[in-house]
Amino acid sequence: MLVKLLAMTPNSEELVAEAAKLCYSPVGVEEIRKGLSPEEISKFLNMLVSIGHMSPLEHVSATFAIEGISRTCTHQLVRHRLASYSQQSQRYVRLDQFEYIIPPAIAEDEESKEIFLQAMEEDQQAYDKLTERLIQRNKKKYLDQGLSEKAALRKAEKESIEDARYVFPNACETKIVVTMNLRTLLHFFSLRCCNRAQWEIREMATEMLRQLKEKSPILFRGAGPGCVTGPCPEGKMTCGRAKEMREFFLKL
C-alpha cells in the first residue's frame, strides 16, 4: 500500500482560525488576519472543537493518491460521499497482469494462500480468454460497419475489456485519488481508524492521518477513532482497547 499526500490547503491552520474569527468577532474582511498569533490560532482551533463548531474546518481540504489497495477497500472508501474521487478505470485500462491484495489471514496460512493464488491465476486466464474472443467478435462488427482496421481494433478492445473485467475479484488492486475537507476527514478517521473497521481501510486511514499530523499537528491533534477524545462510541461492540488506542493515536 502506498499513501501519498499530494496537496493540502496552504496555511490551513491560519485559514480555519480566520474563518472562526469572522464568526465570533466584529472584524471585517480587511482585519481578519490581524492579531492572529500562533497562540491565538491554537486558541481558536481548540475552541471550535470544544464547542462542536465544525463548519470553519470545511475551508481546508487534503488530496491523497493511494495505490496498492483492493477494490474491497475502495468500495468502502467511496461510501464517504462528501469527497471527490478519481479511480483507475478497468474500462479503459487493459490489465494484462492484474495485481491483487492478499489478506494477511490468508497470506499467513500456506494452504489458504495456495487456494487464493490459484483463484487469482484462473481469473487472469479467464479475463485474457474473454478479452481475445470478444475483441475478434467486436472487431468484425466494426469492420462490417466500414471502420478502418485500426479504428475497429481500438473500439473493439475498449468494448471487450469493459465486459471481460466482470471476472475480476474484489482483491483486484486499484489506484485512486481522493480529496476531502477537514470536517469530512475527521469523521472518516473516527470511523475508519477504529479497531472495528476492516483491516485494509484502517491501515490506509491511519497512514493518511499520520501524514496529516506531520503537516498540521494542531488541526489533527485529537483525530482518530472516537475513543481518542472520549469514551468508546461502539458500546457493547467495543474492542476493549480504548486506552491503548488513545495512546497510539495521540502519539501518532
Question: Active-site positions?
Answer: 192
Give yes or no for a contact between 159 and 131, defined as CB atoms under 8 angstroms apart: no
Residue type, 120: M
Q: How many residues comprise the chain?
A: 252
Q: What are phi and psi of 92, to 5 degrees?
A: -110, -20
Report the alpha-carbon distance of residue 54 to residue 183 in Å, rounded: 6
Give the dihedral of Cα atoms 155, 129, 100, 85; nearest 10 deg. Answer: 20
The candidate with the shortest Cα–Cα distance to 86, out of 22, 1, 177, is 177
Q: Shortest CA distance to 229 belongs to which of 193, 179, 182?
A: 193
Query: What are the angstrom distances between the C-alpha of 47 and each of 12, 51, 94, 250?
Result: 16, 6, 51, 19
